[in-house]
Amino acid sequence: MNILGVQLIAFIFSFFMLYNVYLYWKKKEIGAKGAMVWVTVWGGLLFITSFPKYLEPLVKELFFIRLFDLGNVMALIILAYVMFENHIRINRLQKQIAKLVSEMAIKKVVKNVK
Amino acid sequence: MNLTIIIPVYNEGKRAVNTVEAVLKIHDGEVVVVDDGSADNSFELLTKSFAGEHQISLLRHAINLGKGAAMKTGAKYAFIKGAQAVLFLDADGQHNPRYIPEFRKCLADYPVVFGYRELNKGMPLIRKLGNIFAAHLVNVLFGIKKKDLLCGYLGFRKEVYEIIKWNSTRYGIETEMATKVGKNKIAFKELKVDTIYIDKYKGVSLFDAMKILTQIPYWFFIK
């Protein structure tokens, strides 16, 4: 079996990310549910990279020429979704922090001024 | 009219103290100073300089949120304390407090009063061009003709606060406020003020101006 350079990079990267997930789970920075999701994502990439032939019927079905093209499209879709989710969450957090900081500032003055 | 002066402060040090002192010479009402999480000794200087000064309320953001957020905290506090109108002044001393009585007079007749600078005098070229372009765009989209879109020397009465309340936390507050005044057809007056450009690295940068420009269509369609 010939291993392509891109396969090797994806393989190493998936391993690295799985190790990262394990470390963050051990540090309790992500919960069991979050760890499961990320293990599925990176484990899935590891599996696809190791056995690309399992996806070949899907490549043909979706009219892609190469598995690599399907991979690119899938990666872009996932990235766009993650970016959108992050944007929404960061906005929400910013608003909550601004509200909290403002309320704290007002409370402190109200307490100090007689 | 119970007018409260609001001064948002961020890393202005002694300048903020000088500004507050200058305001106190002219204004005998409440002054709210909001330190927006300054990294320097601005807050300590202000606390030391105005300890026991009942006319002044000093608020502090635990972290830096931006000028818009500091203005919002100041306005919220002022209205809780019974202000009928608020007037914003920059802490770096670029806004001359001698216009406060004129603002007060105008606020008695108009719910919103914007300060405007003579665009030919002392304003850096890039700011001047950006200001003119943005003013035209806002005029076309919101039907509000303003001489100076970016001047932070402005005031409004309590009854319009909920209508023109801004969401911008950093720069762009003045533009957002103007778009809301235009959209809601609120009567306003413009008052000529002189401005001193003290620090060219502070205030609205070119990138801030570009961000503000991209926000204008958003305020038109969404807000």
How many C-beta atoms surround the C-beta of residue A84 within 10 A?
10
- Nearest neighbour of B61 by CB, restricted to A94, A101, A110: A101
Q: Which of A106, A111, A112, A113 to substitute to test the interface with B, most B CBs within 10 Å? A: A106
> Edge-to-edge strands of the sheet including B154-157?
B56-60, B31-35, B3-9, B85-88, B154-157, B112-116, B188-192
Q: B203 or B26: which carries more pLDDT confidence?
A: B26
**A76 near B CB under 8 A:** no
Over residues B76-98, the pLDDT tens digits come to: 999 999 999 999 999 998 899 99
Answer whether B155's CB lies under 8 Å from B107's CB: yes
Q: Report how many domains make up chain B.
A: 1
Q: Rounded to whole angstroms, how far apart are CA atoms B144 and B177?
A: 11
Report the relative pairing of strands B154-157 and B112-116 from DSSP bridges: antiparallel
**Residue B133, domain CATH:** 3.90.550.10
Q: Inform me whether the pLDDT recorded for A67 exceeds 80.
A: yes
Q: Rounded to whole angstroms, how far apart are CA atoms A56 and A61?
A: 9
Percent over 90 (pLDDT), chain B: 60
Nearest to A9, CA basis, from A36, A42, A49, A39:
A49
**Contact between A98 and B80 using a beta-carbon 8 Å cutoff:** no
What is the span of the domain harbouring residue B105?
A: 3-221
B223 pLDDT band, cuts 50/70/90, is low
Q: Inform me whether the pLDDT recorded for B3 exceeds 70.
A: yes
- Nearest neighbour of B58 by CB, restricted to A101, A102, A109: A109
Residue B194 pLDDT:
83
Q: A89 or B136: which carries more pLDDT confidence?
A: A89
Q: Rounded to whole angstroms, how far apart are CA atoms B145 and B135?
A: 7
**A97 near B CB under 8 A:** yes
**Contact between B62 and A101 using a beta-carbon 8 Å cutoff:** yes
**Contact between A105 and B63 using a beta-carbon 8 Å cutoff:** no
What number is the ipTM of this complex? Answer: 0.77
Over residues A71-109, the pLDDT tens digits come to: 899 989 999 999 999 999 999 999 999 999 999 999 988
